[in-house]
């Protein structure tokens, strides 16, 4: 009788444990879904572009590769073309190439299936001698376009592809060393540039950052610099007009930061830049369509300006390369590759 009761108690105890485990599993399943933590990780590719800043980067969806062009190093402007294939950088040897430049603007035109590059500066002497030429990259070669209309010569402009409208959008920039900042908006339709005349617009500025927020269906613009210093305003472009956003939280004022849209998380990611006091920044912020949130990391890229950043669709991660770690360009040039996973 005692043995029977003991076994019965064992069965009850076993059943109780199983029920407890089941309740724990059910409670975990019922918890609200959360996004996995994002972290910066430094990659160590076998080959890499030389140290540089103020180059351009964009993801070529047709080739599933990141494209990097030009930049500035201690010898002057560059005309190198590199591609990133998820693990390594490879220098290209196209039959044709844009002339040496830095501070140009570049974006992938998904409607035309080509990377578009516009303008930039050719002289490191006080960042003068700006350009107004348009080039496209088809995955193997560069070709200069000769549109009937185009923006005036400039560097320092912001540019992004507006997928909702199927056009590349360019805003602002600087005409030359005279610090004549601009506030005009232009769109590229694959064959020609057209100036837009929106009812509202960001103030004139150079070195803002722009990215397409696919979740919101709008181009996002942040920061830049004007005659008064760095700015910290957030604007969105809906295809016809600019609208200033007034988020509860915002990154501090800065210019020459890096930005990209993280398609895996549906967030715009901003990194680094330079503030009005000459302080280099190493902070990471994300934009969810309505507000900015700062992400904190134990380890990450060092503070820098003039870096390149783009989303690698093949690997589902953001790639950041190079820049300058000293506010005495180009004395602190970098050649490191980081990924935001």
Confidence of residue 24 (pLDDT cuts 50, 70, 90): very low
> Model confidence over 57-107: pLDDT tens digits?
999 999 999 999 999 999 999 999 999 998 899 999 999 999 999 999 999
Q: Please list, in sequence order, all residues whose beta carbon lies within 8 angstroms of the beta carbon of residue 57, skipping any fewer than 6 positions away.
A: 66, 67, 68, 69, 106, 308, 309, 310, 319, 321
Span of 27-31, 78-82, 310-314, 334-338 with lowest mean pLDDT: 27-31
Task: Check: pTM over 0.75? Answer yes or no.
Answer: yes
CB 59 within 8 A of CB 68: no
Q: What is the pLDDT of residues 182-241, one digit of tens each?
A: 999 999 999 999 999 999 999 999 999 999 999 999 999 999 999 999 999 999 999 999
Per-residue confidence band for 151, with pLDDT thresholds at 50, 70 and 90: very high
Confidence (pLDDT) at 20: 45
Would you state the structure tokens that stand for residue 164, as one six-digit string? 């909702």
Between 31 and 302, the higher pLDDT residue: 302
pLDDT digits (tens, 9 = 90+) for 1-15: 334 334 444 343 444
Residue 21 pLDDT > 50, yes or no?
Answer: no
| Least confident range of 87-91, 264-268, 298-302, 318-322 | 298-302
Confidence of residue 290 (pLDDT cuts 50, 70, 90): very high
Give the residues across from 170 on adjacent strands: 159, 186
**Structure confidence at residue 128 (pLDDT):** 67
Pairing of strands 193-196, 209-213: unpaired
Q: What are phi and psi of 161, to 5 degrees?
A: -90, 125
pLDDT of residue 10: 38
Other C-beta atoms lying within 10 Å of the C-beta of residue 324:
26
**3-state secondary structure (DSSP) of residue 333:** strand
**Residue 180 backbone zone (phi > 0: left; psi -120 to 50: alpha; other: beta):** beta
pLDDT tier at 131 (50, 70, 90 boundaries)?
A: very high
Q: Is the pLDDT of residue 28 over 70?
A: no
Taking the C-alpha atoms of residue 281 and residue 294, their distance in angstroms, rounded to an integer, is 13
CB 283 within 8 A of CB 272: yes
- 282 versus 18: the higher-pLDDT residue is 282
- Say whether domain 39-340 belongs to CATH 2.120.10.80: yes
| Average pLDDT of the residues in 145-160 | 97
Q: How far apart are CA 113 and CA 129, in angstroms?
A: 30
Q: How far apart are CA 194 and CA 171, in angstroms?
A: 12
Report whether pLDDT(123) > 90.
Answer: no
């Amino acid at each position: 009788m005692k043995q029977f009761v003991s076994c019965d108690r064992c069965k009850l105890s076993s059943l109780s444990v199983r029920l407890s485990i089941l309740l724990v599993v059910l409670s975990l399943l019922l918890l609200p879904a959360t996004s996995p933590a994002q972290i910066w990780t430094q990659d160590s590719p076998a080959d890499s572009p030389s140290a540089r800043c103020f180059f351009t980067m964009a993801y070529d969806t047709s080739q599933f590769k990141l494209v990097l062009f030009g930049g500035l190093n201690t010898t002057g402007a560059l005309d190198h073309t590199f591609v990133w294939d998820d693990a390594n950088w490879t220098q290209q040897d196209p039959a044709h190439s844009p002339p040496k430049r830095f501070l140009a603007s570049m974006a992938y035109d998904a409607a035309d299936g080509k990377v578009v590059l516009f303008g930039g500066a050719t002289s490191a002497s006080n960042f003068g001698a700006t350009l107004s030429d348009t080039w496209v990259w088809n995955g193997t070669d560069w070709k200069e376009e000769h549109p009937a209309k185009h923006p005036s010569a400039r560097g320092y402009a912001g540019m992004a592809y507006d997928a909702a409208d199927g056009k590349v959008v360019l805003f602002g920039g600087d005409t030359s060393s005279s610090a004549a900042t601009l506030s005009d908006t232009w769109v590229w339709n694959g064959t020609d540039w057209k100036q837009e005349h929106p009812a509202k617009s960001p103030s004139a500025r150079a070195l803002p950052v722009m990215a397409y927020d696919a979740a919101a269906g709008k181009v996002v613009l942040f920061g830049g610099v004007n005659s008064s210093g760095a700015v910290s305003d957030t604007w969105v472009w809906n295809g016809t007009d600019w609208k200033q956003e007034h988020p509860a939280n915002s990154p501090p004022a800065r210019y020459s930061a890096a930005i990209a849209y993280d398609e895996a998380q549906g967030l715009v990611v901003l990194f680094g830049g330079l503030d009005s006091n000459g302080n280099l920044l190493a902070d990471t912020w994300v934009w969810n369509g309505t507000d900015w949130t700062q992400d904190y990391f134990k380890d990450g890229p060092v503070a820098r300006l003039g870096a390149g950043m783009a989303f690698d669709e093949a690997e589902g991660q953001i790639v950041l390369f190079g820049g300058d770690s000293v506010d005495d360009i180009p004395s602190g040039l970098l050649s490191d590759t980081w990924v935001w996973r």
